[in-house]
Each structure stands twice: as C-alpha cells, then as structure tokens.
Amino acid sequence: MTLTLTVRRVDLAALDTPLLVLALPPAATIGPPLAAVDAALGGALARALDRRDFRGGRDEVVHLSGSAKGPARVLLIGLGKSTDRGVALRRAASVAARRAHGMGVGTLTWYGGPATPAELEHVAIGLGLGMWEYTDLKTPPPTDERRTPLTAATIHVDDLAGADQALAAAQAIGAGYDLARRLGMMPGNVCTPDHLADVARDIGRRHGLDVQVLGRRELESLRMGAFLSVAQGTPQDPRLIVIEYKGAAPTVKPVALVGKGLCFDSGGISIKPAGGMEFMKFDMCGAAGVLGAMEAIARLKLPVNVVGVVGATTNMPSGTAVKPGDVVQAASGKFIEVINTDAEGRLVLADLLDYVRRYEPSAIVDAATLTGACVIALGHVATGVFGNNDGLVAEVLAAGVRSAERGWQLPIWDEYREWIKSDVADIKNTGGRPAGAITAAKFLQDFVDTTPWVHLDVAGTAYSETDLVAIPKGPTGVPVGMFVEFARGRVR
C-alpha cells in the first residue's frame, strides 16, 4: 500500500479530518494555532497538558476523542528531548502512522509546527515507515472486520518553499525502504536468489538501468572459489547481480554498493542451533539495502554513477557442502581456509569485493549482516562501520546521521590480522571470539585493493527480533538511508 502525501498550510481552526496528529515537545504550551484545536475539543487538549496526562516524552501517545465538527480524533505524539529535531520528527511520524494504520482512519493530518524542508522529509519518510506492513502471506480478515488502511496524509508546513522537492525525495527514499523491507520480510522459500535477480531486473526495466545476472557457470569461469564454496551445498543457482545507474558523465568513476545476499543462512556444516534460526532469512538485508538504494537513487535521478552488486545464495548443509578445514581459492587468487562454514558472508563478499574492481570505483561501501559479534558490541542501536580510509568513513558516518541510521566506527588495526592467519592457507575465515566483528572486517580488507572502502555490519540494525515501537519487529530498511544519503552527499 502506498501513502499519498500532500503538504499545505493547514488552518487548524477550519480543519476537517478523521485524525489530527499533533507532534509536541516536552512542556508544550498552547499557542494561537493550537488554541483553535483546544476550543474545538472543548478544552480537552489544555486539560491533557495541565493534568500532565501528556508530557511530550519520546514515543508517548495520547488519544483524544475529537469533535463532531473539526478533527474527529486527535493523537498527541511526544517528540521527547532530542538534539536532532528531524530525527525526533521522523520517529514520531512513524509512531503516529503505525497507530493511524491500525485504527483504520484512512487519512491523517500532521501538525508538528514549523518544519524545514529537511525536517519535512523526515516526517514524510517516517509516516511511510510507520504504516508499512507485509500482508501478502496472510488471508485478509472478513470484510466487516477489515480496517481502512492509511492511504493518504497531509503534512502541515508554514513555508511551502522547498516542500514539494522534499516530499518527492521522501517518496523516492520511502520506495527504497519499502522494497528493502519487503524483501527482508519475505520468507526464504519466496525470496530466493532468483527472486532477488528478478527484482533487480525489474528495477532496471522501470528505470532504464543495465542489469547483469551471473549464475554458477559464470562464477566458475570467474574462478570465484570463495563465493562458490558457500553455494556448493545448495541446489539453487547462486546469483551475482550487478545494477548500473548512470546519472553522471561516463568519465565520472562510480561508487560501488555491495550487499551480502544470503537468502537463508543455516550455518552449513557448522550448523546453527535451531532456536531463532528462522531469523536467518534476514541474512540478505545487505543485498536488500543495495536494491532499495538503487530504487531510491534512480527515482531521485541523482547526478552520480552507482554500481550496485549483490551476491545471493543460501548456506546449507548437504553432502556437497563445504567442510571445516577445506581450503578454497578466491577470485583474487588468495587461498582461504574455511574454519567455520557459518562465517560464509565474508567468503561471498571476498569475491564480490574483488569483482567490483573492474568498475574502477572511487569508493566501495559494502553492507552485510556479517557477525553476531557486532550485535553484542553495538546492539540494534548502531551499524558497525569499518574502513581503510578515514575520509570515507567520516562521509558514511555523516550520511548515517542525516538519515537517522546511526553508525559507529570500530578499528581495523593491523594487530587484528594476527587472528586470521592460517597454518595451511593465506588466510582463515574465522578469528575466534575476541573482536569478532573486527576480524571479519579485517578479512574483507584483504580482498579490497587501495580503493577507499567502508564495510557496514548491519547484523544488529537491519532487522529486529523485538518490537521497536516506531516499527514492528522485522526488517527496518537499514542500510537504505545510509546508502542513499551517502550517494546524495557526493553531489551536494
């Protein structure tokens, strides 16, 4: 379901809407615009504030019954104490849209006081994130029990300058988030490597981008022994997917976005415990982030060149699967000892990172649900950020701040290389428990030449096993925002 967004200067005194959302900071007072709402509600707004029923805290929601004339319902949403108003508005908008969608009001009017175009963009993206759901595999309830989905929202702005542009950008980025979350939520038997390839082709067809899809035979010709070692346990054809977006002159070097696309990660022969294994359908969220970002970047028509690369397969135990102790040769020529078949993401990425060299990118940013260790280090609050170039790391961290997808840098000092030395090969694919997210990044670094490169470990941020209030459990859309802001930042 798509959300139709409009912006206008809303006159609260003459407003007729099924739902008015008021986003309020802590200790809000009733100024002239809100006084009209308060009057229409017979003073209920002032009473809620005076009695401190509503205090404007983060994620706080109070539902007031509206009036026969004017807003039929009023939802007070707290912005909380925040240093970044845009981020607070985005979150509040998600909370509001999620509620509104569940209530079945169909449309809402958002009033959060004056907003800059950047803040308006946050509100619009937040509304889209909040009402998102994946219902394809649920039988719809009987007609009389159905609630009207949220299909339209009007956002109040005082100043319309730049508003249409901000809304268009939000809609483009929202489409990217929707796509990434949809792919993430799809079960492994539906979102297969072939499905990811079909989605890439569809993006290409709709936006006129070149898409290439390689299978097992082509990977063999390219001698991608690392990627193929992961895929050798599954009958499904692995897919290396390349999408090229050309928004700048052909002489401008592209940025490369690379994504881990494990449509299911059982661990392989080093099989994972059964409890929670179903979450490993989300092991393609890096790839979903790349596809979502390509969708958004194409819609935004950014004047940049971007090459998106996805490595899609599943990690399965079988008679043909790679075994602990096996040594495989990556496309770069390096020999890798596979200590643990569950450290498969880095094997796939090793060959992808080598492959993107042919596009001579000015920068490479990869995203992968790579390590449980990153979840231990940063929880679901921040993406792990690693890189070989401090300027590029700073650029990506800043993109994370702008997109409300925070990242935090972890070091990849050479001392960590010690842990992944192999007795029999050039490198081994696990380094033991200490600094697990770092040794994984350190492994990847061996397959990147001197190109500025950043690795994003999104294991803790791309999906959530618990309800996050602003969005339900499941895929968050990370790292679509970081990718898109990074690309936008390059042409600012």
Within 10 angstroms of residue 333's Cβ, the number of other Cβ atoms is: 10
91, 99, 346, 402: the catalytic one is: 346
Q: Smallest distance, Å, CB 176 to ligand BES?
A: 21
Q: Is 342 in the site for ligand BES (CB under 6 A)?
A: yes
Q: With respect to ligand BES, which residue has the nearer C-beta, 110 or 282? A: 282
Q: Smallest distance, Å, CB 398 to ligand BES?
A: 25
SS3 of residue 12 by DSSP:
helix
Write out the binding residues for ligand BES, residues 232-271 only, by CB under 6 A: 265
User: Which token pair is 480?
Assistant: 């679509």
Instruction: Give dist(CA 426, CA 298) in Å, integer.
Output: 40
**Which is nearest to 175 in space by CA: 165, 167, 187, 186?**
167
* Residues in binding contact with ligand BES, number by CB under 6 A: 16
Residue 457: beta bridge partners? 368, 384
**Which is nearest to 487 in space by CA: 168, 310, 169, 256?**
256
Stretch that binds ligand BES, among 42-50, 162-170, 300-308, 367-375 (CB under 6 A): 367-375
Q: With respect to Zn ion, which residue has the nearer C-beta, 18 or 372? A: 372
Q: Which of 342, 351, 395, 446 binds Mn ion (CB under 5 A)?
A: 342
Interaction pattern, residues 459-478, with ligand BES; x per rule: CB under 6 A: x-------------------
Q: Smallest distance, Å, CB 344 to Mn ion?
A: 5
Distance of CA 101 to the CA centre of its chain: 21
- Sheet containing strand 363-368, edge to edge, reads 210-214, 239-246, 305-315, 255-265, 363-368, 453-457, 383-387, 407-409
Q: Which residue is nearest to ligand BES (CB)?
A: 372
Stretch that binds ligand BES, among 166-174, 372-380, 413-421, 484-492 (CB under 6 A): 372-380
Spatial contact of 365 and 397, defined as CB atoms under 8 Å apart: no
* Residue 442 bears catalytic tag: no
Q: Which of 119, 178, 237, 265 binds Mn ion (CB under 5 A)?
A: 265
Stretch that binds ligand BES, among 133-141, 149-157, 327-335, 337-345 (CB under 6 A): 337-345
Residue 24: beta bridge partners? 78
85, 216, 253, 272: the catalytic one is: 272
Name which of Zn ion, Mn ion, ligand BES, none residue 178 binds, using a CB cut-off of 5 to 8 Å depending on partner kind. Answer: none
* Residue 206 bears catalytic tag: no
Q: With respect to Zn ion, which residue has the nearer C-beta, 299 or 346? A: 346
Spatial contact of 239 and 196, defined as CB atoms under 8 Å apart: yes
Q: Is 345 in the site for ligand BES (CB under 6 A)?
A: yes
Instruction: Give dist(CA 297, CA 294) in Å, integer.
Output: 5
Spatial contact of 400 and 463, defined as CB atoms under 8 Å apart: no
Q: Is 283 in the site for ligand BES (CB under 6 A)?
A: yes
**Which is nearest to 286 in space by CA: 476, 465, 489?**
476
What phi and psi values does residue 241 have, to the nearest 5 degrees?
-115, 130
Q: Is 188 in the site for ligand BES (CB under 6 A)?
A: no
Q: Smallest distance, Å, CB 184 to ligand BES?
A: 12
Q: With respect to ligand BES, which residue has the nearer C-beta, 64 or 321? A: 321
Q: Which of 215, 247, 372, 472 binds ligand BES (CB under 6 A)?
A: 372
**Which is nearest to 364 in space by CA: 280, 256, 458?**
256
Q: Smallest distance, Å, CB 106 to Mn ion?
A: 43
**What radius of gyration, in Å, describes the C-alpha atoms of the chain?**
24
Catalytic residues: 272, 346
